[in-house]
Amino acid sequence: MQYLGESGIPFGIIFTKADKLKPKAIDRQVEGYCQELLKFWEELPPYFVTSSSKKIGQEEVLDFIGNTNEEIEQLKSQ
């Protein structure tokens, strides 16, 4: 992640298995991770909470990938 951030390569963080924890536990886990990242980073990359079995976050992740690909294609055509 450090390399990606320093190199300006777009990426997101995906927290999986959201169906295995209660919502407040998920929030605490994500918040704790984000707070650790902010000790070293000025801003957080986009992040997504997902569950493949319950289809949570799938659309958001796919939108992020699609938008990122479009941005890269636009940069390449300039």
Whether residue 8 has pLDDT greater than 90: no
Mean pLDDT confidence for 13-30: 94
Whether residue 38 has pLDDT greater than 90: yes
Among 52, 59, 56, 33, smallest CA distance to 44 is for 33
In this prediction, residue 25 carries a pLDDT of 95
DSSP helix/strand/coil, 29: helix
Exposed e or buried b per residue across 52-78, where buried means at least 16 C-beta atoms within 10 angstroms of its C-beta: eeeebbeebeeebeeeeeeeeeeeeee
Per DSSP, helices labelled H in 8-57 are 23-38
- Name the CATH architecture for the domain at 2-76: 3-Layer(aba) Sandwich (3.40)
**Segments making up each domain of the chain, as ranges:** 2-76
